Amino acid sequence: MKSTGKVTGIVSNLVTVLTDGPVSQNEICYIDCGGTRLMAEVIKVNGKNAAVQVFESTRGLKNGDKVEFEDRMLEASLGPGLLSSCYDGLQNDLTTMTGVFLKRGEYTEPLDHSRLWDFTPIAAPGDKVTAADWLGEVREGWLPHKIMVPFSFKGEYTVKSVVPAGQYNIDTTVAVLTNEEGEDVDVTMTQKWPVKVAIKAYREKPRPSRIMETGVRVIDTLNPIAEGGTGFIPGPFGCGKTVLQHAIAKQGDAEVIVMAACGERANEVVEIFTEFPELIDPHTGRHLMERTTIICNTSNMPVAAREASVYTAMTICEYYRAMGLKVLLLADSTSRWAQALREMSNRMEELPGADAFPVDLSAIISSFYARAGMVVLNNGKTGSVTFIGTVSPAGGNLKEPVTESTKKAARCFYALEQNRADKKRYPAVNPIDSYSKYLEYPEIEEYLSEKVTPGWVGMVEKTKNIIRKGREAQEQINILGDDGVPMTYHEQFWKSELVDFIILQQDAFDPVDSVTPMDRQEYMLKLVLDICDRNFDFEDFEECRRFFNEAINLLRQMNYSEFRSGNFNKYQEQLNNLISNGK
Ligand SMILES: Nc1ncnc2c1ncn2[C@@H]1O[C@H](COP(=O)(O)OP(=O)(O)O)[C@@H](O)[C@H]1O
Ligand SMILES: [Mg+2]
C-alpha cells in the first residue's frame, strides 16, 4: 500500500508531511514541486506526521504540495555495468552528462539496459540455490561478474532453467527458479538492494588474517591494513589525504575499487571526475577506471545526498564481494557525511550531542565501518571489502567528535600532521600517533612472519622505537644545544632521521619511489635497521651529521632506482664503503 501526503512545513531541505496512511522510516517519497518531482527520504515518523529530507533544493516548495510515498527504501541498482561508471549519491549516471550536471528533479538510469553481455551459465537445472548463489557469469572488463540469486530471495530454490551461453541484456530472464511453494520466479542480470541495509550474502565473517599491500611504506611496513580491514586518514586541509588515498587506490592489492567523493569543495569533485579516469593501473597497464566505480556529489546537491553516497558506495562494494572479489572502498571525506547528519538533526531540533552532532553519531559511524570485512561465501570462496575513509577535522583538532567516533570504529589510524606537511615530509603520516591494531592479531603476525620475514612485527616495533627515541633526543638537543648533550643523543636523532627519510618519506609522484613492493620494503628496512644497530663512536656531532647525511643521500638514491638494478647496486656499494669507513 502506497501512502500519500501533503507538505505542512519546510526548513531548508527538511520538510514535514501530513500523511494519509502508514509510512516507514527511510522510505522514499517524491514531492511534486510545481511539476518537478523532488526525491526525499523519511527520517522521522510521529503519528501521521513524517519528516523527510529532500535530496535537492526545495526552492519554490509550498505547504499543501502533494507527496507520494514509494513503499521502498533508497535502493541501488546492481548489475553488470557498474564498473567504469560515475554516479552521484542517488546513482544518477554522471558519465552521460558530459560535465553538465543534472537539472533538479531529473533522475537517470544507473545501468545501460540495451548493452549486451557475454553470459556463461554456472548453475544447472536441478541445482538447489539460495540468495547470492552464482547462476552465471559475464565479463565486465577483465573481471568475472557473477549473476547471483537476488539477495532478497528467502529460503531454498531449485533451478528450473538457465539460458545457454550467449549475449543478453540485463533485463533478459537468464534463469527461472522454483521456490519451496512450487512457484516459478524469473531472474534477470540486475537486482535492487536498499543501501542502508547491509547485504548479508555470506556464510561467515571471520577476523581478517591477511594484509592488503598498498606499496606505501608508512602503511605496509609500519602500520599495515588487513584485507577486509578498516582504516582512516584524519588530517587538516592540504596535508595529503587525497594524494594518499589515490596512491592506495592505484596500488592497493584489490580487484574492484569504489571511490566515494564527498568533496571538500566543488572543484575537488570535478578534479576526481576528470583526473581519475586518466590513471593507469600499474597491475594491468590499462585504465584504472575499468575496475572502478566513482560516486561523487554534484555541487548543486544539498548535504543530504552526501549521506546517501557513502551508503550507495558500500552497497556496490558488498555486491562485488559476494562474487568472491577483493574490493577496496575509499571515502573522501567522511566529515562531510557527518556534517549532513548534523544539519538534519539540528533542523529537527533533536537534543544535540558533542559539537551539535547527533547523539548517535558514534553508532552510525561504527555500523557503517562494520559493513567492511572479509567473508566466506556460501560456496566456501572468500571475498572482502577493505574500507579507508578520510576525515577532515576543523583546524586539525583530532579531539573533535567525527575523528573520535571514527577512531572507535576503524582499526587503522593514519594521522596526517600539519608540521610534517609543512616540511614537505610526505606522506605526512605521524609515525608515533598512527597505529594498526592488526599488528596485535597473532594470525597477522604469523602471516607477516611467513610472507615477509620471520620476526617482522618485532622489527617494526624496533623501528617505531627508533623514531620515538629520536624525537626525545631532538627535544633535548633543542633545549640544551648541540654541545650540551652526549654524543649518543646526536646519534639517536640521526638514526630516526634515517628511518624518516628512507622508510617514512615517499614521493607519490615518482614512478619508482611511489610503489614499493613488500620484498623491497623488507630489504630497505633491514638495511636501515642494520645501520641503526651499530654504534659508531663519532668524534663529534659534525662527524655524525656528515655520516648520516651521506647515508641518507645514498639510500634515497636507492629508493629512486629500480630494485637491484645496476644503479641500485652501485649506491649500495658506496653505502657499504661508507659504513666500513664510518667505523
Ligand atoms: N606523498 C606525496 N608526495 C608528494 N607530494 C605530496 C604527497 N602528498 C601530498 N603531497 C602534496 O600536498 C598537496 C595537497 O595534498 P592533498 O591530498 O590534496 O591534501 P588534502 O586532501 O589533505 O587537502 C598535493 O597537491 C601535493 O603537492
Ligand atoms: Mg582532499
Q: Closest Cα to atom 24, ligand 1: which residue?
A: 240
Indicate which atom in ligand 1 lies nearest the CA of residue 427. 1
Q: Per mean pLDDT, which range of 337-341, 377-381, 414-418, 447-451 is the poorest?
A: 337-341
The three three-digit cell numbers of residue 516, written as one number? 614499493
The three three-digit cell numbers of residue 495, written as one number? 638514526
Fold: same for 217-436 and 456-582: no
Averaged pLDDT for residues 13-39: 94
pLDDT in tens, 529-573: 999 999 988 999 999 999 999 999 999 999 999 999 999 999 999
With bands split at pLDDT 50, 70 and 90, how would you rate the model's confidence at 56?
Answer: confident
Distance between CA 454 and CA 380 in Å, rounded? 30
190-204: burial string, b at 16+ Cβ within 10 Å, e else: bbbbbbbbbbebbee
pLDDT at 101: 58
Closest ligand relative to 336 C-alpha: 2
Q: Please work out whether the CB of residue 512 comes within 6 Å of at least one atom of ligand 1.
A: no
Averaged pLDDT for residues 118-141: 97
With bands split at pLDDT 50, 70 and 90, how would you rate the model's confidence at 102?
Answer: low
pLDDT at 336: 83
Dist. CA 239 → ligand 1 center (Å):
6
Considering the domain 217-436 in this protein, what is its CATH number? Answer: 3.40.50.300
DSSP characters for 387-402? Answer: EEEEE--GGG-TTSHH
With bands split at pLDDT 50, 70 and 90, how would you rate the model's confidence at 261?
Answer: confident
CATH among 3.40.190.10, 2.40.10.170, 1.10.760.10, 2.60.15.10 for 4-73? 2.40.10.170
With bands split at pLDDT 50, 70 and 90, how would you rate the model's confidence at 263?
Answer: low
Q: Where are the beta strands (DSSP E) in 197-341?
A: 230-234, 256-261, 292-296, 326-332
Distance between CA 127 and CA 124 in Å, rounded? 6
Domain boundaries, the chain: 4-73, 217-436, 456-582
Sequence-distant (≥ 6) Cβ neighbours of residue 201 within 8 angstroms: 131, 132, 148, 151, 318, 322, 377, 378
Q: Closest Cα to atom 10, ligand 1: which residue?
A: 240
pLDDT at 111: 95
CATH architecture of the region 456-582: Orthogonal Bundle (1.10)
Distance between CA 534 and CA 532 in Å, rounded? 5
Closest ligand relative to 333 C-alpha: 2
Average pLDDT score, the chain: 93
pLDDT at 310: 93
pLDDT in tens, 489-498: 999 999 999 9
Based on DSSP, count helices (H) and strands (E) in the chain, helices before strands: 14, 25
Q: Please work out whether the CB of residue 509 comes within 6 Å of at least one atom of ligand 1.
A: yes
Q: Please work out whether the CB of residue 237 comes within 6 Å of at least one atom of ligand 1.
A: yes
pLDDT at 300: 59
Closest ligand relative to 416 C-alpha: 1
Averaged pLDDT for residues 297-321: 85
Q: Please work out whether the CB of residue 236 comes within 6 Å of at least one atom of ligand 1.
A: no
pLDDT at 286: 86
Residue with cell 578520510: 390
With bands split at pLDDT 50, 70 and 90, how would you rate the model's confidence at 282?
Answer: confident
Q: Closest Cα to atom 16, ligand 1: which residue?
A: 240
